[in-house]
Structure 1
Amino acid sequence: MNHIPNISFKSSDGFNDIECIQLSELFTRIENDPNHNPHLPHRISFFALLIVTEGHGEHQVDLKTYKIQKDSILKIAKGQVHAFQNHPQYKGYLVLFTEDFVLKYFSKSSIEYISHLYNYHISDPLVENSALNAFFLERITEEIQSTNTYVQHEIIAKILELFLLKLEREAYKTPLETFNKKYQSLFINFKNLVEKNYTNTRNVKDYAKLLNISTKHLNTIVRATTLNTAKHFIDNYVILEIKRDIFSSTLSLKEVAYENGFDEVTNFTKFFKKHTGLSPKAFKSTL
């Protein structure tokens, strides 16, 4: 998968963590960027909602092609690979938002309910015939374009958070049945073990031992579910928890390091910078 480019969040409307853009504008913008071909698979470092308002077509997520049409929503999570079809015959919007936006403005309980944010591997990304789209798009574009910036981010976040929760409730009516049943139980057990033990170990061998399977088999399960290795899943979860602590607590960075299983601040800093490109101190200064 190393040939798949990684695309970072880049907005043109003054916000650095959320954007709602018409697809026609997006394609015009991309045409002027020789370094990015949206019709080829690319991995995103943010979350996206592809909302179709007219027409029909296809969109690829994690190498699977989905049929989309008016009132469809395609949920694409951070770390997933997607690609637009050539010459799309549909119109709509792409709502982009970063993980930092989610962690800073969404309630923790909402994050746990909105499965596609961090459990996209067991959540169907496609929502069809949604009656929620028009109202949501009207509200969020109105607020993004508002000249009254007082608590603007908070309002935008709540509009998006409520929309995602309502989508989750709709999805809950028809549970996903196409998920690989062979691996589902083991993967969920692995995920639960990581959440419980990540402060004690980030070693894949330890989790394989707890599951009574080989590391090779564990990697097979995780790759089939997430398109990434078990180590990638563990490290991503640790980074998420570190960010949560930095966002939501008054702990010093040294205390955050110890809370997340690092005995040495130096190792904590190296780990965080390796996976985010920033030191914990630099990341905290951006908040």
Structure 2
Amino acid sequence: MAGITIQDGDDGGIRTFPFPVERSVSGVGVQVGPMGEGRTWHAEAPLERIHRIDFHIVMIFSDGPVRHMIDFAEYEATAGDVLWIRPGQVHRFTDMSEYRGIVLAMQPGFLPRATVEATGLYRYDLPPLLHPDEAQLAALRAALAQLQREYEDTETLPLSLHTAVLRHTLTAFLLRLAHLAASSAEAARQQADTTFILFRDAVEQGFATNHSVSAYADALGYSRRTLVRAVRAATGETPKAFIDKRVILEAKRLLAHTDLPIGRVGAAVGFPDAANFSKFFHQHTDVTPAVFRAELR
């Protein structure tokens, strides 16, 4: 990705920073507070450069838009969005003065194993950027506000009980967050299914004249990137490969079951120039149209 600067670590790679326990109230394995300038994970961690962290970050935005890079993909978050970064993911902040909202940082091992599994803390297949609806957002904010109050209250309970309450309150928040992440992934899958079906039908109608992925995307009202993701999720291949396979299938049918001249077969599948058709067919089948027809007869 253009513009990405690699931050060198001691071994020449991207540096990984640990959870800053010393910056937590009472030294517990969780932090909650406002986003903005002055917040950092480590004195040697320049947030505007690529780095890894070995803990979880959850940011709920109250303003935006803000662009944030996670695993070399750019995400744009705005007011009401949630960004969940998991341990080991490569990421980079933009100007910290643009970040507004509440951020939660959580150390691996702070929660028991059963809770970790129930909340899907290491589901790297789930999307990092979440868009809760109004009710979901209100519930998340309320749960996080309660967690922040418990986090900052170091007077009413001894440390052992304070930590136990934090774990339970954090679990309640994470269960809501995990449900949102899982349902968002399912909605994205359904959207991808719908997008692919529309694309598949459009190709079936137009492959004889239209071989352009961008043209299909424009006609369907999707970005090229959205179309690529949907087709890859459904078929494991690119939209261009899907189109080409349909063109080749039709060409094979015409070569096998009709006596049309090869030039006419090419024209019927969108290649008015016979030489270009023969080249295309050979690239995808390793034989020329003439050889393919001869082998069948």
Please classify the TM superposition score into its range, dividing by the shorter chain length: 0.5 to 0.7
2:33 is aligned to 21
Counterpart Cα distance in 2 of 1:96 and 1:31: 9
Distance in 1 (alpha carbons) for counterparts of 2:183 and 2:56: 23
Residues in 2 aligned to 1:145 and 1:161: alpha-carbon distance in whole angstroms: 17
Cα deviation for residue 64 of structure 1 reads 1.0
In 2, Cα distance between equivalents of 1:36 and 1:18: 19
Q: Are 1:143 and 2:150 an aligned pair?
A: yes
Quick one: structure 1 residues 152 and 84, their matched pair in 2 at CA, closer, same or farther if it must change by over 3 Å? same
Residue 169 of structure 1: how far off its partner (Å):
2.1
Local SS of the residue matching 1:54: coil
The answer as to whether partners of 2:84 and 2:128 remain within 8 angstroms in 1 is: yes
Correspondent of 1:43 among 52, 67, 77: 52
> What is the rounded CA distance, in whole Å, between the counterparts of 1:31 and 1:101 in structure 2?
17
Quote how far apart the aligned CAs of 1:58 are: 1.4
One-letter amino acid matched to 1:71 = G
Distance 1:54 1:134 in 2: 14
Structure-2 residue corresponding to 1:98: 107
Displacement of 1:30: 3.8
Structure 1 unaligned segments of length 5 or more: list them: 185-287
Q: By how many angstroms is 1:173 displaced?
A: 3.0
The structure 1 residue matched to 2:178, chosen from 164, 168, 174, is: 168
How has the CA–CA distance of structure 1 residues 101 and 183 changed in structure 2, closer, same or farther, with 3 Å as cutoff? farther
User: How far did 1:160 drift?
Assistant: 1.5
Aligned residue pairs, count: 175
Output aligned runs, 1:30-109, within 5 Å.
Answer: 30=40, 33=43, 35-103=44-112, 108=114
SS in 2 for 1:74: strand
The answer to whether the 8 Å contact 1:71/1:133 transfers is no
Instruction: Give the structure-1-normalised TM-score.
Output: 0.54
Alignment partners' CA distance in 2, 1:128 and 1:167: 11
Paired position in structure 1 for 2:129 = 126
Q: CA RMSD in A?
A: 2.7
Question: Structure 2 length as normaliser, TM-score?
Answer: 0.52
Q: CA deviation at 1:143?
A: 0.4
> Secondary structure in 1 aligned to 2:19?
coil
Please report how far the alpha carbon of residue 61 of structure 1 lies from its aligned counterpart in structure 2 after TM superposition. Answer: 1.1
Give unmatched runs, 5+ long, in structure 2.
1-5, 7-11, 190-228, 237-297
Alignment-mate amino acid for residue 27 of structure 2: F
Q: 1:112 aligns with which of 95, 108, 117?
A: 117
- Describe the SS at the equivalent of 1:78: coil
- Cα deviation, 1:164-215, whole Å, max 9, x if unaligned, reads 111222333341435964899xxxxxxxxxxxxxxxxxxxxxxxxxxxxxxx
Distance 2:39 2:59 in 1: 17
